[in-house]
Structure 1
Amino acid sequence: MHAASSSPSSSALRLPAAFQRLAWSNLVAQSAEQISLAAAPLVAVFALGAGARETGLLQTAQTLPFLLLSIPLGVWADRRSRRTLMTLAESVRVIAMLCVLLLLMTHALSLPLLAALGFVAATGTVAYNVAAPSLVPSIVPREAYAQANGRLELARSVAYSAGPALGGLLVGWIGAGWAYGCAAGLSALAVALLAGLREPPRAAAPQRHFLLELRDGTRFVLRDALLRPMLATAIFFNLGFFVLQAVYVPYAVHRLGLSASMVGVTLGAYGVGMVCGALAAPAIARRLAFGRVLIIGPSCGLLASLVMVATIVTPSFWLAMLSFFLLGAGPILWVVGSTTLRQAITPERMMGRVSALNSTATYGARPLGALLGAAISARWGMDACLVAAAAAFLVQALIIVMSPAARLADIPEGAAVAQ
């Protein structure tokens, strides 16, 4: 059983300087990622003539590193400096974005090159996303985990809010080159911030075979009564989300009649929803049991998918924007809560591997969803993709509602006991 206890209020805690650097680097790194992710399908559709199938394959390439590399990089994060891993990761993304900029300026960009460089840039994102949650427990006191995760997610929310809209505006008004140049500059700033972060030394862990360390981390998650349904919920949420994302840009352009700037605004509503959800999170957490807070995100995801399905019958810019707003507002509470739960019950020596397994579920399901979206679109059309996405969102909502995590009164205390 997991013991539940109330944590002291962390509202008055001052987070350490190392965390402040991590938070700012997180903001600019997430902004860089969102600008480039928003620009890529717009460049593919407007400059390279891509359709739904091609944008789905592009999404697959940009998310495939999360499936292939999260776990190896998680093992690395448990063995070596997490700050160094994050710094190298952002440097890789800088190089990839500069290459896209150069190809755009020389009119040499093609869909295969755009996909390949998106794959390289995402490799940097994978390493950063695995290492950052693993670093938090070593630089932040336990009672401030939720506060620190809320700060990181608020920064991510701002990036998700401004990034897609800015990416769409830059592509529509000035050109795609400026979007990728801006992304490269922001990633370079993240590298500079991370270079000055002081990471506390860790006790040297005995060197074991990679597969043994991977087995231990996987067994820990799959045997835990709380972490197991959290993993399954994340898988189905992201399957649904990326089935939708795989076809949304061509669907919005050709079926909803939106311009590049309007597409950017609807995607930006996702980030606005995240900001609103992150700002409301402390008040919601004070009023609801921890398990009830975990239910909100998957429930909002289901509602958002149904709103998007409604655009099949009633094509509407406003419904599309509402759908993305709901996808941001509710699930941000899930991200903060699920991250805090993992950090609270996972031993420090396993933090990288457990974060990597979550990253594999959260992001690794994305290329599968994008590939599934491309296949469904090619066989049955874009409308069928929206219905398939709603089905995946229904499954993830049912998983978390029926799990023991939904019945937690507060954040569990101490390491989890395998069950």
Structure 2
Amino acid sequence: MTSDAARLPSTFIRLAWSNLAAQSAEQIALAAAAIVAVLALGANEGEIGLLQMALTLPYLLFAIPAGLLADRISRPKLMVWAEVSRAAALLAIVALVQAGLITWPLLALLGSIAACGTVAYSVATPSFVPSLVPSAFLPTANARIELARTLAFTGGPALGGMLIGWAGAGPAFGAATGLSIVAVVLLAGLREPPRPAPTHRQPLRDMMEGVRFVARHSLLRPVLVTQFVFSTAFFLVLTVFVPYAVRHLGLSAAGIGLTLGLYGAGMVTGALLAPRVMGRLPFGIVIGIGPIAGLVASLVMALTIWVPTPTLAGLSLFLFGIGPILWVISTTTLRQAVTPRDLLGRVSAVSVLTQGARPLGAALAALIGGLFGAEACLLLAVAGFVAQALVIWTSPAIGLARQPDMITEHGVGHGTLDHPNTTGRASRPREPATS
């Protein structure tokens, strides 16, 4: 890992730092929004569900258009404009908080605008990485990107909770705004290698091309289904966690932030272990670890219904982080390897689109939580995690021995678009002479 990481280009390192700032801004703002809604605005489980649905709906509505933009315009410029829009929305929240005019509908509206920036940034990043890094080092680069994201998940919620507890909501959203601006500064000057001019000029048809590619691909299709079900079930848990933690576990704002931070701590641990794990286990088995870890985590969280201790809740969130981060790194590498370069933005968008399952999870949480309480949501989530584990462990992706060979264009490279290598005998990309 050390020698590979040392050969990553400086342009990629800047991207990784920008990703850290952008992800930190998102996590602080998300934690702050939920805590403010519950503690300052008195939102109940149903209102929190609606708030979370608004904050995640852009993943469903904007991911595919953002993917088309990522394949048609400069990806670094798209990322810059994404962060500028997020900073502007967060700055508006700061102004409303300071004026005492914030309400949870306004919080939902501005948070949704900020989330549009998050979606565009999230789509562009994985499609930009292969332009900066040789194919043999994609796992290392993806681990670096995810390590930056995991650090944000570790520090963001804790910092958001502590800032609100110590200084109020304004400074928390102000910190998120500042980090978005830092992300923009780090992106300034990054250039993407020239790409061929797009041949299609029918936006709807071009947007659906990425969806069709994933739907027909024997490796990517089960990954997509697993990711969708996982996101739905996880957001069932995450949506009700803050009010559940306040009313059932007796946690304060700072305690909630620290407990949520254990999710990020698990992700950091998983990201640090990823190179060693991916070097020792078959590629497909690494893909399967995350869904199993998610299932175990959901069972531990459900156990807090009968054993209401923050320790179990923290352990559950830690497990939610440590396993699925291996999933993100391995499936991102898989997607980058088997997808033609001119489709990578739209295929990455389909992956981000699965986070559009979050509004579904939030809506279910609003309905089930409002009618039957948070405990029913935790039990329903367990059923979802059972389903997603079954989908991936019965798929051909589990049989892959190594990272598949790279595809550069439609039907060009070491594989083909219609007949991906599913035998598990794909050779690892050859290490380039220089990086």
Q: Which secondary structure state, in structure 2, belongs to the residue aligned with residue 203 of structure 1?
A: coil
Q: Is 1:398 the counterpart of 2:394 in the alignment?
A: no
How many correspondences in the alignment?
411
Residue 213 of structure 1: how far off its partner (Å): 1.2
Question: How does 1:17-416 map onto structure 2 within 5 Å?
Answer: 17-361=10-354, 363-415=355-407, 416=416
* Cα-to-partner distance string for 1:242-288 (whole Å, 9 max, x where unaligned): 11111110000001111111111110000000000000111111111
Unpaired runs of 5+ residues, structure 2, are 408-415, 420-435
- 8 A Cα contact 1:29 1:90, kept in partner: yes
- 8 A Cα contact 1:230 1:338, kept in partner: yes
More moved, 205-214 vs 148-157: 205-214
CA distance 1:214–1:258, shift in 2 (3 Å): same
More moved, 154-163 vs 407-416: 407-416
- 8 A Cα contact 2:5 2:141, kept in partner: no
Q: Which secondary structure state, in structure 2, belongs to the residue aligned with residue 257 of structure 1?
A: coil
TM-score by length of 1: 0.96
- Runs (4+) of structure 1 moved beyond 2 Å? 8-13, 414-419
* Cα-to-partner distance string for 1:138-197 (whole Å, 9 max, x where unaligned): 111111111110000000010000000111111111111111000000000101111221
Unpaired runs of 5+ residues, structure 1, are 1-7
- 8 A Cα contact 1:70 1:359, kept in partner: yes
Residue 418 of structure 1: how far off its partner (Å): 2.5
Q: What is the one-letter code of the residue matched to 1:102?
A: A
* 1: CA distance, partners of 2:136 / 2:3: 6
Q: What is residue 418 of structure 1 aligned with on the other side?
A: 418
* 2: CA distance, partners of 1:393 / 1:279: 25
Kindly report the root-mean-square deviation, in angstroms, between the aligned alpha carbons of the 2 structures.
1.3
TM-score by length of 2: 0.93
- 8 A Cα contact 2:127 2:344, kept in partner: yes
* Cα-to-partner distance string for 1:36-62 (whole Å, 9 max, x where unaligned): 001001000111010111111110000
- 8 A Cα contact 1:18 1:199, kept in partner: no
- 8 A Cα contact 2:96 2:102, kept in partner: yes
Residue 13 of structure 1: how far off its partner (Å): 5.3
Q: What is the one-letter code of the residue matched to 1:287?
A: R
Query: What is the aligned-residue identity percentage?
Result: 56
* Cα-to-partner distance string for 1:210-268 (whole Å, 9 max, x where unaligned): 12212321111111100000000100000001111111100000011111111111100
Q: What is residue 4 of structure 1 aligned with on the other side?
A: none
